[in-house]
Structure 1
């Protein structure tokens, strides 16, 4: 039954990709899906029944939003499976400690988010939803037809029934635990010879360096970056090492949000969810997404404000899709830098992508970097470069100072520190703000 459902959603996803010839048709279809979802969820979820009491489902775009804090505060009443937060945390934490992710509550898989936003979150996914997710992901991510045999190598912080649901007779799926030494995973990867390699960009970079050093010998037909922001610096090195384009899957606890098309453009998955745009900077087309996912009901995601920043593309994609094209994933709103206006003393936002550009444009010798904002006047910069880092520091400091002063802000105090690679399961964040606004 699971395989049949997976195949159904695989075909549906392929058909929907060609179905919508205009934004108007897509949005009308989405509206009908969300209205039906609101009506079902109000019956099944005590939280939403109360939260949306007396509201007309037709006006769902004006409903109050939720965020991670609200979802976790009301977890017991929000989910439709009757699972308590205490029970879900107990199972998820045990799985993390023992590195055994097979436990379920009935047919409900329980997972734990990575907690990069400061607090850990829970997600619940039913067997039906896992099969639907797998069919959708395979339709968008596989380098060839589902009938072609594939060897998939999947690196992530934690395994899950969600990821294992893509396994079939034609799909050999191997999970690589990122807690294990890189050398061990390199050896196993050489044995597997994957046709599809899926990993966070920090891991893809380590594997690319192993490939360039002659320690890894694989030739995947497709590379997919997940879980972290794919930086241009890392993308270039990874593509150089493996000779293929790095595509992206934008997946988080809250849903499968976007995937790269045949032309290399990231598109929102508007066939399974609605993403409303809450603009942070409309002129630069930078927005925070508000998600309504009509593919999930065990843990309904309804007008959920995500703590991310996306930049919308200026031009339609050559692939012809009506789904919104994304120029870049900026990162989290918590990593938005702020400068202090030299005249008014007010805080002025400076987007992560501008920090990245200032760094990588300052010198081709920069291999890796981290920029941390410790306060409104203090930046901490770490570099890994060809040669001596000290030679590049004046030019980079000038570029970062110019970035702030060009926006009318006081120039920051810049301290250079030794570069240290993140170890273990911590997500790589090359641009990070550590002070609260």
Structure 2
């Protein structure tokens, strides 16, 4: 690792550890956010043409943007003025840098890819911050870290050039069967992988790393229980997206928002639900503006105090995406949203033998329930009845078809509840 990179990682790491020690209550955290938001908005109005009209304005007057706005104003929301077309073309040719900047894109789970532009400094700031949260002794102890991810972007490759961190990448596109032996031989002390991969390895008796981090997908309770029962190790989470690092679980297993680097606002997008969607402002991003960006994710906040005593907001669970909420007809002729957690819970509580499923809305009133071949017909009928009863209480109906057979696809994010039909 180059000397300047070591310095950047070390500085970010020490800053993150210092913030964790000093921001010990909501009052100090609020004051810190006010200072950071003032600094960030002043910089953005000077350096990003999209925000020039907001020079001197209060943060609350800055517009809330989403992926559509970001893509339509891409060149005005990055300091280099890089166009979306130039970034797409460079990525299509296998390039990860453009005009001296690092570029990348999301997996496109929702059918619409996101694109990012960051600097080398921001990349190492990300690395130092995540090390401080996930491996707090990384600067003093050696670690063997395995990453099982769909692709090794330049962002993750930053972690593999440190002398104290031996990192091995395992490509999900090849399937875990092809590299299980290599993973065992590497003997990692830390493994970061989607929950479906952690579960598969646990069921095969190949999960030996004492530190397990679920990432890239929703960690369902059914997967978490199977992994932890099989290994005896706690499963923690890293909540990241194209837009940044948003949360990491503490050693007690509580998922804490990364409020030392991101300011969160919340909005309720589904009535009669405890789930909220975050609007994020990233303090570490200068090259590309990430100010009041509306995420598509849904999660439930936990307002209790974690035993770790962190002042950072706890998250009870991440529950999926807004556009995966079912949209079903009601008695009045309108349509109501049904959140993924309500649908998931109905299936899980219907029968204890159901430990995997897919519930997909395929049409205005059509729903498909996919179950494994091992699930008995009686359990399938109970699952259908439980969903129908829940919907009936809400004045909703759906035609539910049961199909047996679930094929594991390690190249795509697992969404057990999803809406393929678009009104």
The TM-score, its normalising length taken from structure 2, stands at 0.94
Would you say the 8 A contact 1:125–1:162 is kept in 2?
no
Q: 1:143 to 1:430 in 2, by over 3 A?
A: farther
Matching of residues 176-195 of structure 1 within 5 Å = 176-195=170-189
CA displacement at 1:198 relative to structure 2: 0.3
Partner of 1:203: 197
Which residue in 2 is equivalent to 1:84?
Answer: 83
Aligned counterpart in structure 2 of residue 366 of structure 1, from 354, 357, 364:
354
Report the aligned-residue RMSD.
Answer: 1.8
Alignment check: 8 A CA contact 1:154 1:199 kept: yes
| 1:23-59 C-alpha deviation (Å, 9 max, x unpaired) | 122112111111111111222112222xxx15543x2
Structure 2 matches for 1:36-75, cutoff 5 A? 36-49=39-52, 53-54=53-54, 56-57=56-57, 59-75=58-74
- Whole-angstrom distance in 2 between the partners of 1:181 and 1:285: 36
Report the secondary structure of 1:27's partner residue: helix
Using the TM superposition, give the Cα deviation of residue 144 of structure 1 relative to its aligned residue in structure 2, in angstroms.
Answer: 4.4
For 1:342-366, what per-residue CA distance to the aligned partner results, in whole angstroms no more than 9, with x for missing partners? 2x22222221111111111112211
Counterparts of 1:380 and 1:191, CA distance in 2: 41
Question: Which of 276, 279, 298 lines up with 1:309 in the alignment?
Answer: 298
Q: Contact 2:190–2:209 at 8 Å: present in 1 too?
A: yes
Change (3 A) 1:238 1:37: same
Q: Distance in 1 between matches of 2:49 and 2:54?
A: 14
Which deviations, in whole Å up to 9, do the C-alpha atoms of 1:186-207 show, x marking residues without a partner? 1210111110000111222222
Structure 2 distance, partners of 1:247, 1:371, is 26
The answer to whether the Cα contact below 8 Å between 2:269 and 2:322 also exists between their aligned partners in 1 is no
How far has the Cα of 1:420 moved from its partner? 2.6
Instruction: Specify every segment of 5 or more residues in structure 2 that has no aligned partner in the other structure, as ranges.
Output: none
Residues 14 and 119 of structure 1: is their aligned pair in 2 closer, same or farther, counting only changes over 3 Å?
same
* Distance apart, 1:93 and its partner CA: 2.5
Q: Does 1:419 align with 2:408?
A: no
Match of 2:334 in 1: 346
Q: In structure 2, what is the Cα distance between the partners aligned to 1:374 and 1:119?
A: 19
Q: TM-score, normalised by structure 1?
A: 0.91
Deviations 1:3-35 (A, max 9, x none): 111111111111111212321221121111111
Residue 9 of structure 1, aligned match among 4, 9, 12: 12
Mapped pair 1:326 → 2:325: no
1:409 deviation in Å?
A: 2.1
Question: Quick one: distance in 1 between partners of 2:384 and 2:50?
Answer: 50
Q: 2:419 aligns to what? A: 433
- Aligned-partner Cα distance in 1 for 2:272–2:390: 18
For structure 1, which runs of at least 5 residues remain unmatched after alignment?
96-100
Q: Once the two structures are superposed, what CA deviation does each residue of 1:145-166 show, in whole Å capped at 9, x if it has no partner?
A: 4311111000111112211222
SS of the equivalent of 2:288 reads: coil
In structure 2, what is the Cα distance between the partners aligned to 1:421 and 1:311?
A: 29
8 A contact 2:64–2:293 mirrored in 1: yes
How much has 1:284 moved relative to structure 2? Answer: 4.1
Question: Partner of 2:415: helix, strand, or coil?
Answer: coil
Equivalent residue for 1:141?
A: 134
Residues 152 and 169, structure 2, Cα contact 8 Å, conserved in 1 = yes
Residue aligned with 2:413, SS: coil
2:372 pairs with 1:393: no
| CA–CA separation in structure 2 for the residues paired with 1:231 and 1:143 | 26
Who is 1:152 aligned against?
Answer: 145
Structure 1 residue 376, shift from structure 2 partner: 4.0
In 2, the alpha carbon distance for the partners of 1:219 and 1:422 equals 22
CA distance in 2, matches of 1:422, 1:73: 35
Distance in structure 1 (CA, Å) of the matches to 2:336 and 2:189: 46
Per-residue Cα deviation, 1:63-110 (whole angstroms, up to 9, x for no partner): 211110111111122111232222211232333xxxxx7x42254221
Residues 235-291 of structure 1 show CA distances to partners (whole Å, capped at 9, x for unaligned) of 112222322111111100111011111221111111001010112357643211111
**1:35 — aligned with what?**
38
Q: Secondary structure at the match of 1:165?
A: helix
